Structures are given as structure tokens and as C-alpha cells.
Amino acid sequence: MTQVADSKQDRIARRQVDKFEARRTELAVATLHTLAELGYARTSLREIAQNSEFSHGVLHYYFADKRDLITEAVRQYEAVCVTRYDEVVARASSPEQLRDEFVAMFFDTLSEDATLHRLWYDLRNQSLFDSSFRADVLEIDSHREAMVWRVISRYAELRDTEPAASPATTYVTLDGIFQRALLHHLTDRPETVAEMRGELPGVIDLLVR
């Protein structure tokens, strides 16, 4: 009888935890655009509440502080983003198709989700100063690296060759281009972004043997 009662209590406790985590996820996603607009330095739970439909008390109940909320929001955003190129990889039947569709999506997402990408780089920069961010940032970064590697390794396969660099070097090369292009996009320098877009196919070619 005691074991049955304990089992029931365990199930109830698990459901409560699951509901709590589901609500955290819902709030993080719902406040994501507010976070992206404000950035880390200008954000507090109270300011986020003032710019969203949720009260400060609700946010404070589910998140310990702004670090907790921002990390969860970026994590949820990246969970979707790290598969953004998988469809391109899956349908590519030639190296040229894969390269051209990757370049198109690379710059489309840069302009369409600029403030959200800015939030990610803001968080990554903050991790240089705040060690509490680092484990989460490294985990997200590893998923982004794997995403890029799926593209380049498939491109090499379609060209019947091999990647010319490690996954880490490949990632930082393309991520560096993306971050620089994002800066120029936010600074309203379309000519520089267009120049980088024109050069990216050549860079991709350099990343395979």
C-alpha cells in the first residue's frame, strides 16, 4: 500500500515539474523578442515585464533572475535554429545547389532574425565576463558547430572530396562572417553585406579540399 502511494506521489511530482518547465519554456519564448530588443545590459525582469504581457511577479516566480530567463530564451530559439539548414542539406542533389541554397538562407536569416541573432552574440560575449553563462553558451555553440558541419561535410561529399579543416575551424570561419555581416546589416550598410554575400561561395569552396 505504501509503495502504491509513493508511486502516485512520484507521478504527481513529475507532472508538477513538467508543468513548471513547460511554463518556463512558454514564458521564455513569449518574451524572446522583448529580450532581443533590449539586450542583456538594459534588461531586468521588471523591464521585461513592462514590455510584455506578463507581470514581474510571474516572471520572478519562474526565473531566478534575468540571466536565467535570457539563457532559457536563447536556448529555446537555438533549438529551432540549429536545424534550419537540415532541409537544404537533405534535398541537395548537387554541390552547387547545396552551396547556393545555403548562402541564400545564411543571409535571409541574418536579415529576418537580426535582433534574435544579436541576442545570441550578446549572451556569448557576456559569458566572457560572467562564468555562470559559460556552460550554457558552450553547449549552444557546440550545436551550432554541428549544424555548420552537416552542411560542409555534405558539400564535400557531393564534390567527392573531404572538408579541408576541422569542424571547429569550419564553424568559426563561417560564424565570423555571419557576425560581421550582422554588424553591417544593423549599421545599415547593405553594400558591405552584399559584398560578403558574393564572396561566401568562394569561402565555402575553400573549406573543402
pLDDT for 63-92, tens place per residue? 988 888 888 888 888 887 888 899 999 999
pLDDT for 147-173, tens place per residue? 999 999 999 999 999 999 999 999 999
Which residues lie across from 163 on neighbouring strands? 208
114: pLDDT strictly greater than 90: yes
Please report, as a single letter, which amino acid is at residue 129: F
Instruction: Share the mean pLDDT of the chain.
Output: 89
Percent of residues, the chain, with pLDDT higher than 70: 92
Domain extents in the chain: 2-65, 75-206
Phi, psi of 3 (to 5 degrees): -65, -40
Contact 136, 75 (CB under 8 A): yes
Report pLDDT for 33. Answer: 81
Contacts (Cβ under 8 Å, ≥6 apart) of 56:
45, 46, 49, 50
Report pLDDT for 146. Answer: 95
Confidence (pTM) = 0.82
